[in-house]
């Protein structure tokens, strides 16, 4: 389901830079600052259906699989980050890795070089 959603709804994948694709999907953090006030970063906008599919994949990777993405999620949880933020961070990491993988014509490697 994730692959079909990414192929159909995100044809730019592999053709644009990582931060740009994360913003396009809506998993990039944006500052909520105004004047001297400094707020938290939040995700905003983007393609909701792609973000939903990535969140499902990130949740599966974080809870059911062994590998670098699951270890990354466990590390963020150990630092005290909220679960929702951890899943968004994992979804962004997954999206950026897939983008690089498609750009270079490579395959998924658990420990990227």
Whether residue 38 is predicted with pLDDT greater than 80 in this model: the reply is: no
Task: Answer whether residue 112 is part of any domain.
Answer: no
Per DSSP, helices labelled H in the chain are 2-9, 18-25, 48-64, 68-78, 83-104
Residue of 56, 47, 48, 46 lying closest to 2 (CA atoms): 56
Q: What is the pLDDT of residues 9-33, one digit of tens each?
A: 999 999 999 889 999 999 988 777 7
| 102 vs 36, higher pLDDT | 102
Task: Answer whether residue 38 is part of any domain.
Answer: no
Domain count of the fold of the chain: 1
φ, ψ at 21 (rounded to 5°)? -70, -35
Q: What is the pLDDT of residue 113?
A: 47
Domain assignment of residue 19, given as a range: 2-29+45-104
């Amino acid at each position: 389901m994730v692959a079909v959603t990414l192929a159909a709804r995100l044809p730019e994948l592999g053709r644009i830079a990582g931060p740009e694709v994360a913003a396009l999907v809506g998993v990039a953090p944006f500052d909520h600052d105004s004047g001297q006030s400094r707020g938290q970063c939040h995700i905003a906008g983007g393609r909701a259906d792609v973000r939903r599919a990535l969140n499902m994949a990130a949740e599966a990777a974080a809870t059911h699989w062994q590998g670098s993405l699951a270890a990354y999620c466990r590390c963020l949880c150990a630092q005290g980050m909220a679960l929702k933020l951890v899943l968004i961070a994992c979804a962004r990491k997954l999206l950026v890795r897939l983008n690089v993988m498609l750009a270079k014509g490579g395959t998924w490697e658990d420990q990227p070089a």
